[in-house]
Amino acid sequence: MPNFEILNATGRATSPLLVHIPHSSTSIPEFYRRQLLLTEAGLDRELLAMTDRYTRELFAEHAVAKGGSAFVNRLSRLVFDPERFEDDALEQMSQIGMGAVYMSTSALRSLRGSEFSADDREAILRDLFRPYAEALSLEVSNQLDRFGRCLIIDAHSFPSKPLRYEGSTLPRPDLCIGYDGFHASEPFIAALERTGRKFGWCVGRNTPFSGSYVPLAHYRKDPRVVSVMLEINRSRYMDEATGERASTFEATRELAGRMIGTAMLFEAFRNARFHTKIPDGDLCIRVGERSPRLDALLESRGHQSWAYITAYNPNGQKASDSANERAQNELAQELTSQGLVSYPGEATADIGDWPPEPSLLIIGVTEPQALELAGRYEQAALVVGDSNQPARLLACDSR
């Protein structure tokens, strides 16, 4: 049996979502248990300190329900840590004995003894670490082949008080959003940040931990791989002294689902096609791209800025046809009353079965005006732009 499992609903993902859960297990097979110096009581304490307990229960079902896959490590990180660099020379944590194969505990005492040899370490890398890394990299590549993109949610938790090995005085918010700017944009992170704060949580960026897992084959090479670490303060969902679930567990699980939903929705927007009918024909806007025809339209009307907005499906939740049509009519009437020029269109998803959303291209609207409009119609995001500049995707607050 492999030391990992890939969970999905149909045998393979039907949406470009991969939730990675590397540190949730407490399982240590007897062969590897014999390598550890700890007593049973000491091992229990170390597992309580180091395990991202319940992250599988918090995240995995959401991944499967949303058509994605959950990639779960079956073994404790005390056996091997799949999120470290294999080469100790590249892994900063190896300096304190916590590289891909830990030699130290969280209290910086010996976890494995001097009899643990280089051959023993190589055996763990050969039998566990490399097969895991290869399978995870393959899962990402498969999603890229099928969907043209892959969203990685790196699911973790952290103790409310720093462990000795951390030596950290950094803030410890309720939720840490970790990311690398190559694999996650500022608007994407802002959207996640807003979702957490709307839930009443304190949210930090890259504190007390930073970055997010990306397989080396794609790391800082392929922008189609978007990756974000969602790391939850354990005090929000468990008794840290006993490891038991707290009464807030289900609420935390709900937030995990909302965060995944926000990430997926934002990525769907980023990859959608925004069609519009303008006087000289059809126009297609893509995030990150310029549109010479749109620039020409702005110049002809004497404007510098534009926005693309819909009132359909508030907060990314499908509404009834009648509710959508009513909201869209209200938006069109509001634009007319403000003297803003708009052109009808519809936004279409690049994958999946999300129906086209009737939308409006508004020219001459400022970015603050557009954000206000989109927020009042409870939209999660909108597309904006300026003359001779690429289209940008913005997260917005629903008011």
Length of the chain: 399
pLDDT value of residue 353: 66
Task: Look up tokens 């007390």; give the residue.
Answer: 208
pLDDT value of residue 399: 36
Mean pLDDT of 70-78: 98
pLDDT band at 354 (very low <50, low <70, confident <90, very high): confident
Give the tens place of pLDDT for each residue, 237-267.
999 999 999 999 999 999 999 999 999 988 9
Tokens of 218: 């794609």
Asked whether 150 and 214 are in contact (CB, 8 A), the reply is no
Asked whether 65 and 3 are in contact (CB, 8 A), the reply is no
Does residue 398 register a pLDDT over 60? no
CB atoms within 10 A of CB 134: 12
pLDDT value of residue 352: 67
Instruction: Please name every residue paired with 6 in a beta bridge, in sequence order, or none if there are none.
Output: 71
CA-based torsion, 305, 399, 199, 14: positive or negative: negative
pLDDT value of residue 397: 61
CB atoms within 10 A of CB 109: 13
Burial class (CB in 10 A: 0-12, 13-18, 19+), 302: exposed
Q: Which of 209, 179, 212 lies closest to 193 in space, CA to CA?
A: 179
The proportion of the chain whose per-residue pLDDT surpasses 70, expressed as a percent, equals 99
231/245 Cα distance (integer angstroms):
17
196/261 Cα distance (integer angstroms):
12
Q: Which helix (H) or strand (E) is 363 found in, with range?
A: strand 357-363
Please state which architecture CATH assigns to domain 4-269. 3-Layer(aba) Sandwich (3.40)
- Amino acid occupying residue 315: N
Tokens of 307: 């926005």
Give the tens place of pLDDT for each residue, 84-130.
999 999 999 999 999 999 999 999 999 999 999 999 999 999 999 99
In our burial notation (b when 16+ CB lie closer than 10 A, e otherwise), range 160-180 reads eeeeebbeeeeebbbbbbbbb
Tokens of 105: 């505990």
306/382 Cα distance (integer angstroms):
11
Give the tens place of pLDDT for each residue, 128-173.
999 999 999 999 999 999 999 999 999 999 999 999 999 778 899 9
Mean pLDDT of 194-204: 94
Region class of 65: left (phi > 0), else alpha (psi between -120 and 50), else beta: alpha
The proportion of the chain whose per-residue pLDDT surpasses 90, expressed as a percent, equals 88
326/320 Cα distance (integer angstroms):
10
Mean pLDDT of 48-56: 98
Helix (H, G, I), strand (E, B) or coil at 222: coil
pLDDT value of residue 316: 79
pLDDT band at 11 (very low <50, low <70, confident <90, very high): confident
Give the tens place of pLDDT for each residue, 269-312.
888 999 999 998 999 999 999 999 999 999 999 999 999 999 99
Give the tens place of pLDDT for each residue, 222-239.
999 999 999 999 999 999
Q: Which of 15, 7, 317, 348 lies closest to 151 in space, CA to CA?
A: 15
266/196 Cα distance (integer angstroms):
15
CA 14 centroid distance within chain: 17
Packing angle, helices 186-198 and 249-271, rounded to 10: 150
CB atoms within 10 A of CB 55: 26
Mean pLDDT of 323-334: 96
- Domain locations along the chain: 4-269, 273-395
Residue 256, CB-side half-sphere exposure with 13 Å CA sphere: 31
Mean pLDDT score of the chain, rounded to an integer? Answer: 94
Tokens of 130: 């490399």
- Amino acid occupying residue 329: N
Task: Provide the strand spans (E) within 159-304.
Answer: 175-178, 203-205, 225-233, 273-278, 281-285
167/150 Cα distance (integer angstroms):
34
- Amino acid occupying residue 36: L
89/67 Cα distance (integer angstroms):
38
Does residue 31 register a pLDDT over 70? yes
